[in-house]
Chain A
Amino acid sequence: MRALRLVSGRLLSMLVTLLAISLLTYAVFYLLPADPAQLSCGRPCTPQRLADARAFMGYDESWFRQYLDFLGGLVGGRTFGSGVAAVHCAAPCFGYSFRLNESVTQLILDRIPVTFSIALGAALLWLLIGVGAGMVSAVRRGTPVDRAAMTFSTVGVSAPSYLVGLLAILLFGFTLNMVPVSGYVPLTEDPVQWLWHLVLPWCVLALLSAAVYARLTRGQMLEVLGEDYIRTARAKGLGERRVIGWHALRNVLIPIVTVFGLDLGSLLGGAVITERVFSMSGLGALLLDAVGNIDLPLIVGVTLFSAFLIILANFLVDLLYGVLDPRATR
């Protein structure tokens, strides 16, 4: 019963947060000096044509009225225009991109496989490399292995992803001709090519993020290894692997899971720079394109979806706390 209350409470707070984010996105957008109808009016644009375009796109209403229409569309769908040229956007309608002639929901659904492929593979890689390197560093503190791992992680933390991506493309793609430099092949189309095209983006993202996890794991592990219960475990005669791999790691994982949840959530919402550099059309590239073209429905839709993923990841992390540390649910 307590768990049910906890879950329903968190779900409600997720909903409120999402509403607040969507409202804020709308409000911020309308503070900008740009007029999306002006951009869609054609050239040259007369005041009458501008008014017609604005009315068709629904931008002739107040921003709050438009926001309410947006919320209504999520539940009941929306129709823009009338007659043969009318555009219907089925529920849940996150809006309609007049520039791309497609519902925002469909555009997001089309891009999910790309972004999720990048994010999940990279996350797995950086978690394994980061946590592994952090543990080794902590256990072999002060040794050349430790120093090498930490130097490497300092480089990873401070390197800009755009630059690392380009350098990786230049070295492994153009100079060594080992991997494809751009593009995405769907998993369903050709699993080998899917993997082959993703190797470089995964490695670039993993290099950058693993560094954070290595430092975090090392710090936590050093702290935990000094705890009384570790001494007790060793005194009981448990092997070093059991002490570190089970007793210590379990406590080290709690902050790592917290950070990982947020990182993965935000990456699932779009690896903007990586997608751009590797010419992969995921959610990040979609958002970048929407911002560049002041495509309001698309900006709101992708922002909201990204926020939902982050909040969902946070929620799952909270649930995982209970597994890792049962005291968290009490």
Chain B
Amino acid sequence: MKRTNIVGAVAFAAVVTMAGCNANPKDAAGPGGSTTAVHKGGTLTILTAASDVNFDPAKSQTLATTSLGLVLRRLTTWDIEPGKPAKVVPDLATDTGRASDGGKTWTFTLKDGLKYADGTAITAADVKYGVERSFAPELSGGLSYHKSLLVGGADYKGPYAGGDLSSIDTPDPRTIVFHLKTSYGDWPWIASMPAFTPVPKAKDDPKTYAQHPVASGPYQVASYQQGVAVKLTRNPNWDAHSDPVRTGGPDQVVFQLGQDTTVQAQRLIADFGADKSAFGAGFVPPAQLVQVQQNAAAKQRLVTSDAGALAYLAINTQRGPLKDLKVRQAIEYAVDKRAFQVASGGAIGGDLATTLITPGIAGRAEYNLYPADPTGDVAKAKQLLSEAGQPSLNLTLLSQNDQQSLAQAQAVQQGLQRAGITVTIKPVDETAWTAAATGDQGDYDLTVSSWQPDFPSANGNIQPLFASNQIGGGGYNLSRYSQPEVDTLIDQATAETDPAKAQALWAQADKRILQDAPVVPLIYTKNSFLHGSNVQNFFVASFPAYPNYLKVSLKQR
């Protein structure tokens, strides 16, 4: 433990030094990277610290544009391009779904001639079966938004327990119809989740499907060695014309598993041999970020997102003086966002935030309800506290106990101290933090968290963090914020099937929530990734702030 701390302290000192130098990689490779013509061929290596790539769509929480997307297609998917907001586009389906019955029924038609890697046809029944098996307790663990939305979903236990889910119809081999309990305008996004991957019933062995899925994307799993490597080779029956979002550049993709993030970064900085055709799936550690700044060649290969998850200070609105709006507003002004940014790695760690909906999400409106200098407005905060009859306060801040979280918590602590708010930091490990922050008790005044939506709709920014039914029980409404007006607004926006109208409602909810000051938006965190010199079309958009694996290719050698 002591050794880890020493290494961590060195890394942290390096980050602070770098922040002081105002290091910013934007001039290195352009914002988020760029794209060029795709060359076919070569072996792309993806270095990851994970010991496993789970290809069972029912158990997967991966983004549509990362590992699973190389092998498996869904009804819809994400079109992610540098500098553009994320867009939902058809994948196996001909369109992003047709709503009827006021948004309670959604119909999709499969493209003609789609085949699995083994040459058999992909049918609507396979998509239905894929969704059904995600309900099985044996395969729990994946993204589950659809389970509470489909009629009868709450009680359905999956196909292994017998029976099918009657709220999914497949009137013919190419048509699939979903019947929802309520209107849900973001269903096209839900249909892009891993569970909406076709799974042929005859080939389903739930015990081994994670290693041997039936491929529908440009690649198939050729070999799988848990903890060591996963090798993907071309799917001979993938039709590029039916799949505009995947370029299928490399002939092979190899995931090297269990790679230490520091060694990963060192390998990519060194850029030797096969590592020239590799990229790191994890963030570049702070110490290596500093190293990259001093290495012109490596700096060219560093790609940093424009934005990413929202880091925020959650104020427990159900605790003592924090029930008072004026006290919460005082905290909005007292927080030193600049200090938090420095503690997060400086400008490369993220840009200052003022809104709840993150950059890269369609419909986001830029505004600032609490305008102040980046270091805060202490005088205004003191005035609000005085008006609230709370000239001095003692609060507890629940924090994770890793080096960076503690540094961030201390930045908040020092900022609030200037306004007479004494903060005691309660450091706990990650699992204890999750249990305390998302549990029913809510025994904390403040906590720092960050959130990136599971799907690129403002719904994913707002509903999980501020709907009153997300308080406790594992939910992420960490402010324990309950406002009937906001709940109604969330329900209206959720039900709206017109994207433009829905986006306007979400933007309205964003502002309405911050009027109640349940959280202080701190920064839109940025993620930095490294790739080898032979890798091209490697970019990181604002959402998701991760590389788009589906577009990466290799240069001609």
Contact of B207 among A32, A40, A87, A169 (CB under 8 A): A87
**A46-B148, A81-B138, A100-B226 known; A281 and B263 CB under 8 Å?**
no
CB-based contact B267/A181 at 8 Å: yes
- Residues on B with C-beta less than 8 A from A56 are 137-138, 140
**At the interface, yes or no: A154 with Cβ under 8 Å from chain B?**
no
**A85-B138, A101-B207 known; A285 and B161 CB under 8 Å?**
no
- Per DSSP, chain B at the interface is loop
CB-based contact B262/A166 at 8 Å: yes
CB-based contact B435/A35 at 8 Å: yes
B405-446 interface bits toward A, Cβ cutoff 8 Å, 1 = contact, 0 = none: 000000000000000000000000001101110000000000
**At the interface, yes or no: A187 with Cβ under 8 Å from chain B?**
no
A182, B274: Cα distance in complex, Å: 13
A140, B211: Cα distance in complex, Å: 60
In the complex, which range does the number of interface residues on chain B fall in?
35 or more
Interface centre among B56, B257, B436 (most CB of A within 10 A): B257
CB-based contact A160/B263 at 8 Å: no
A69, B56: Cα distance in complex, Å: 28
A44 to chain B, nearest CB (A): 6
- Residues on B with C-beta less than 8 A from A35 are 435
Contact of B210 among A32, A101, A174, A184 (CB under 8 A): A101
Closest to A88 in B: B207
Which one, A1-9, A47-55, A145-153, is touching chain B?
A: A47-55
**At the interface, yes or no: A43 with Cβ under 8 Å from chain B?**
yes
Contact of B137 among A53, A181, A281 (CB under 8 A): A53
- Residues on A with C-beta less than 8 A from B138 are 56, 80-81, 85, 87
- Residues on B with C-beta less than 8 A from A52 are 137, 140, 157
CB-based contact B141/A40 at 8 Å: yes
B73 to chain A, nearest CB (A): 21
Interface centre among B143, B431, B470, B475 (most CB of A within 10 A): B431
A120-160 interface bits toward B, Cβ cutoff 8 Å, 1 = contact, 0 = none: 00000000000000000000000000000000000000001
Closest to A286 in B: B227
**At the interface, yes or no: A192 with Cβ under 8 Å from chain B?**
no
Contact of A281 among B4, B162, B228, B475 (CB under 8 A): B228
A36, B540: Cα distance in complex, Å: 32
CB-based contact A160/B137 at 8 Å: no
Contact of A160 among B6, B142, B470 (CB under 8 A): B6
CB-based contact A83/B160 at 8 Å: yes
A273, B260: Cα distance in complex, Å: 10
List A residues 8-45 near B (Cβ within 8 Å). Answer: 32-35, 38, 40-45
**At the interface, yes or no: A177 with Cβ under 8 Å from chain B?**
yes
List B residues 440-493 near A (Cβ within 8 Å). Answer: 454, 464, 470, 473-475
**At the interface, yes or no: B240 with Cβ under 8 Å from chain A?**
no
- Residues on B with C-beta less than 8 A from A85 are 136, 138-139, 158, 160, 206-207
- Residues on A with C-beta less than 8 A from B266 are 166, 169-170, 174, 181
CB-based contact B257/A162 at 8 Å: no
**A48-B154, A177-B272 known; A41 and B140 CB under 8 Å?**
yes
**At the interface, yes or no: A235 with Cβ under 8 Å from chain B?**
no
Contact of B431 among A33, A46, A110 (CB under 8 A): A33
A197 to chain B, nearest CB (A): 12
A278, B228: Cα distance in complex, Å: 12
- Residues on A with C-beta less than 8 A from B474 are 38, 41, 44-45, 50
A interface, CB within 8 angstroms of B: 32-35, 38, 40-50, 52-53, 55-56, 80-81, 83-85, 87, 99-102, 107, 110-111, 160-163, 166, 169-170, 174, 177, 181-184, 273, 276-281, 285-286, 289, 294
Top 3 A-B residue pairs of the complex, sorted by shortest distance between their CB atoms: A281-B227, A160-B3, A34-B431
